Amino acid sequence: MTIYSQFLTRFRALLSLTTVLVTGLAFAHSASAQQDAGEGDEDWVTASMCAAGDRAVDLSQTVSFTYTNAEGNNPRYISAAQAGLTTADLSDLELAWAIAFPATSSMRAAPVIVGSTIFYSATDASRVFALDTDSGCAKWVYNAGTRLRSSMAYGVIDGEGILVFSDQRGMIHSISAETGEQNWTASGQASNNQGMLTGTPVIHEDRIIVPVSGSGVITGGNPNYECCENHGAVTALNVRTGAKIWEYHTMPAAQYTGMESSTGVKQRGPSGAPIWTTPTIDAARAQIYVTTGENTSHPTTGTSDAIIALDLETGEEKWVFQALANDMWNFGCSAGGPNCIILDDTNSVDYDFGGPAILLEAGDRELLVAGQKSGDIWALDPDSGALVWNQRIGEGTALGGNHWGITTDSERAFMTVNDPGGMGQVSRPGLYSFFLGTGEPSWFYEVESDCEGRDGRLRRCEGLYGFSAAPLTIDGAVITAGLDGRLFVFNADSGEVLFEYDTATDFDTVNGVEGYGGSIDSHSIAAGSGMVFVGSGYGSFSQVSGNVLLAFKPAE
């Protein structure tokens, strides 16, 4: 294929992505307006509550699911004992209950599960719910007063169980897991740098590690914007007060570079290398690992599309592994906008790391393993950042490749691949497994579209069916799901499909709110206390909106 043909294919893919993104942003604005209009209506919250005598939260019960485990790692693996589920259980599930949230388009967040309580943040609804796992009714509700953004972290500090999460303003909230009462709120932003807080904050001993995803990627699409100025960062906060301890920046503050766009607008840089993902803690090495996205303006930096190790105590950078250099992309690149300046060495493919790095044992050594939107999976030496092995599936796209992360067990890494139809030259959506010690492929499952006879709400069904959500391994099974709303359970050793369920339909809900499923994406798959929980609906990027949290249990 000629260089011109490659450029033309990528330009068409990016042009398609612009339509997707603009539509998604318009829908998000519409959902926000609906939320604002109905914010004062509390009837649905009242209808969600448990009976007055059934609202106690028992934190002495077992912690069965958190996005990061007690050591601050992100393996997305839980044992049968921890989950209360075996592989056999997962092959025969039935819907136990569904709860719906009004004025909500996306069910993106992972919960925390402690015994008989699942703590869930309905992000569009600006609330955190402590739900009873058996019935779905609410024991308490916390209203953040603004839309929430991240999944939740759980920890026990001075004998009190706390939940920590972020909102769209860049604030970190600490609340009591027992009562839902606020402990404190504090800014998670780094100095002189604004960004969304998308990744889950991590509680480790006396501090909270907060990822910051500043970039300017959206504003770069404005031809009048002097692109671009913000960048990725990490802050460490005191777990008891929210006071800042240290901060790390993926690059220096942006300055005017002397470059101008084709329309004469001054350019700034460096910018980008956002940290969308959840940090990983390595207590033995006193290190934090973060993964980053692309640069959004020139000059490009060595910290974009990278895995970075930081000193846990100080935030000092220890090593950087860059998977792809010179990846400069912003929304202006979607349609040849003036803020998309392509130099001779510019890649401009938007190949972020959208999921965290996982620290694990592989034989007699430890590895850091992470997936990338390029379709790559990387295994590194955690001491030095040196490459140990690498595999690639397909050619990647701006929406994955591997979008939100991978999962592992003791033998294999499991990587989901999205590859929306028509956005890449080689589309291979599905689930792929690799042996941890060598990186050699194991089994794979290439998913195909299934639109016949399904609900008309599944717009673009023929192209949106890949696996984008972060998968989860339980015992000997892997759970993943598609952008078309189908939930899958696979045998982790063989790849056999053990269970399939279509969530893109209407549901009767325990709180009486009209409930409907859609795309399954982001961090919406969880399990614990003998049940599987799935958030169905993801209205961004012109995917299929939905508003239900679904609870499954083994069939009786």
Q: Does pLDDT of 424 surpass 90?
A: no
Q: What is the pLDDT of residue 6?
A: 38
Q: What is the pLDDT of residue 462?
A: 80
Percent of the chain with pLDDT over 90: 79
- Which H helix or E strand runs over 22? helix 3-38
Instruction: Provide the pLDDT confidence category of residue 23 given band limits of 50, 70 and 90.
Output: very low
Instruction: Provide the pLDDT confidence category of residue 260 given band limits of 50, 70 and 90.
Output: very high
Please give the residue range of the domain that contains residue 321: 188-356
- Whether residue 549 is contained in a domain is answered as no
- Whether residue 5 is contained in a domain is answered as no
Q: What is the pLDDT of residue 3?
A: 36
Q: What is the pLDDT of residue 103?
A: 83
Instruction: Provide the pLDDT confidence category of residue 124 given band limits of 50, 70 and 90.
Output: low
Which of 18-27, 37-46, 90-99, 428-437 comes out lowest in average pLDDT?
18-27
- Closest alpha carbon to 536 in 525, 527, 236, 528: 525
Q: Does pLDDT of 345 surpass 90?
A: yes
Instruction: Provide the pLDDT confidence category of residue 1 given band limits of 50, 70 and 90.
Output: very low
The CATH number of the domain holding residue 338 is 2.40.10.480
- Whether residue 40 is contained in a domain is answered as no
CA R_g for the chain: 22
- For residues 23 and 458, give the distance between their C-alpha atoms in angstroms, rounded to a whole number: 15
Q: What tokens were used for 50?
A: 């448990």
Average pLDDT, integer, range 458-486: 92
Token pair 């694990």: residue: 360
Q: What is the pLDDT of residue 15?
A: 38
Higher pLDDT, 211 or 68: 211
Q: Does pLDDT of 280 surpass 80?
A: yes
Q: Does pLDDT of 5 surpass 70?
A: no
- Sheet with 387-392, side-by-side order of all strands: 358-362, 365-371, 376-380, 387-392
Residue 126 contacts residue 166 (beta carbons within 8 Å): no
Q: Does pLDDT of 299 surpass 50?
A: yes
- For residues 171 and 189, give the distance between their C-alpha atoms in angstroms, rounded to a whole number: 8
Q: Does pLDDT of 444 surpass 90?
A: yes
DSSP letters, 27-50, are HHHHHHHHHHHHTT--HHHHHHBP
Report the mean per-residue pLDDT for the chain.
90
For 393-431, give the secondary structure using H, E and C.
CCCCCCCCCCCCCEEECCCEEEEEECCCCCCCCCCCCEE
Q: Does pLDDT of 24 surpass 80?
A: no
- Whether residue 110 is contained in a domain is answered as no
Residues pairing with 238 in the sheet: 207
Q: Does pLDDT of 202 surpass 50?
A: yes
- For residues 172 and 244, give the distance between their C-alpha atoms in angstroms, rounded to a whole number: 11
- For residues 218 and 189, give the distance between their C-alpha atoms in angstroms, rounded to a whole number: 18
- Whether residue 61 is contained in a domain is answered as no
- Whether residue 75 is contained in a domain is answered as no
- Whether residue 219 is contained in a domain is answered as yes
Q: What is the pLDDT of residue 35?
A: 38
Alpha carbons within 13 angstroms on the beta-carbon side of residue 262 total: 8
Q: What is the pLDDT of residue 502?
A: 95
Q: How many domains would you assign to the chain? A: 1
Which of 28-37, 38-47, 322-331, 509-518 comes out lowest in average pLDDT?
28-37
Q: What is the pLDDT of residue 97?
A: 98
pLDDT in tens, 361-390: 999 999 999 999 999 999 999 999 999 999
Q: What is the pLDDT of residue 11?
A: 37
pLDDT in tens, 154-196: 999 999 999 999 998 999 999 999 999 999 999 999 999 988 8
- Whether residue 244 is contained in a domain is answered as yes
